[in-house]
């Protein structure tokens, strides 16, 4: 059957995901953290307890979503359109969560269908909510089923110079590091597969760009303290090539921030960014 708009609200079965200190270290290195961020990249540095980057929620969460209820679609034509995380506590260096997912929305965009996939994760050791993730998937070729288009988000950056700007360099082999945290899609590692997708070479994972951007926000706005990082969302607007620069611009208003990430050519690669912090 095609995309089923009546699937909105359908819930999946709870699923569990555990991780270790090593997993957290590997994720941090995969999104560019290094020797100047030892709290996130080592576990045995003097007077420096290990902590976890908040954006690791995208790797640990997302479980329990009932993909089988969406209907039929070509997975090769699915794009990761947007991502949001909400943190209710600091992610521990090792632990386990139980995640329950549901289909939050299905919108008819004409040339495709936009699907919000929501997953809520509870810390198994405490029974308390730890984080919530929302992935928006765009299913190309699956629109036109007569559904509503959905809301049109309004996003306008302030007419002033950014309050903060942070520049990071990605490595040529960045996707090979990031894929070890779980996303083994050959689009990010196999040159022949990348060419079938229309790229000259493998591209960087969108969620790796998300992690780089999250690091900039964490260190600039939260004083590198993950407990102050509350939420982050935005839309993927252009692929990033390994070796590209990522320039994160931030406009702060109280405890919230609008942000945008561009490459070295000034092209926006992550847009409509909103982050909250404490």
* Active-site annotation, residues: 183, 188, 203, 206
**Residue 173 neighbours by CB distance under 10 Å:** 11
Tokens of 235: 């839309």
Query: Among candidates 14, 103, 17, which has minimal Cα distance to 57?
Result: 17
List, as one string, the DSSP characters of 51-93.
---GGGHHHH--TT--GGGS----GGGEEEEEEEEEESSPPPS
Q: What gap in Å lies between CA 64 and CA 98, rounded to an integer? A: 9
Q: What gap in Å lies between CA 193 and CA 10, rounded to an integer? A: 33
Query: Among candidates 231, 206, 219, 221, which has minimal Cα distance to 88?
Result: 231
Tokens 């560019």 correspond to what residue? Answer: 32
How many whole angstroms from its chain centre is CA 158?
Answer: 24
Give the dihedral sign, CA 122/82/38/34.
Answer: positive
Secondary element (H or E) of residue 8? none
């Amino acid at each position: 059957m095609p995309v089923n708009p009546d699937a909105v609200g359908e819930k999946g079965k709870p699923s569990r995901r555990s991780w270790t200190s090593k997993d957290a270290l590997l994720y941090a290195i995969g999104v560019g953290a290094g020797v100047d961020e030892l709290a996130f990249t080592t576990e045995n540095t003097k007077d420096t307890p290990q902590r976890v980057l908040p954006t690791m929620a995208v790797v640990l969460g997302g479980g329990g979503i009932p993909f089988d209820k969406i209907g039929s679609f070509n997975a090769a034509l699915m794009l990761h359109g947007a991502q949001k995380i909400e943190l209710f506590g600091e992610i521990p260096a090792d632990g386990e969560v139980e995640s329950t997912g549901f289909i939050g929305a299905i919108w008819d965009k004409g040339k495709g269908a936009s699907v919000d996939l929501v997953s809520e994760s509870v810390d198994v050791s405490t029974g308390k909510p730890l984080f919530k993730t929302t992935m928006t998937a765009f299913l190309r070729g699956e629109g036109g089923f007569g559904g509503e288009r959905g809301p049109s988000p309004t996003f306008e950056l302030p007419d002033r110079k950014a309050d903060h700007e942070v520049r990071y360099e990605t490595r040529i082999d960045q996707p090979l590091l990031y894929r070890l945290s779980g996303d083994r899609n050959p689009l990010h590692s196999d040159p022949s597969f990348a060419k079938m997708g229309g790229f000259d070479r493998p591209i960087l994972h969108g969620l790796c760009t998300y992690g780089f951007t999250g690091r900039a926000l964490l260190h600039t706005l939260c004083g590198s303290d993950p407990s102050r990082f509350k939420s982050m969302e935005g839309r993927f607007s252009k692929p990033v090539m390994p070796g590209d620069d990522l320039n994160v611009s931030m406009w702060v208003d109280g405890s919230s921030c609008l942000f945008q990430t561009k490459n070295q050519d000034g092209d926006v690669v992550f847009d409509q960014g909103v982050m909250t912090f404490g």
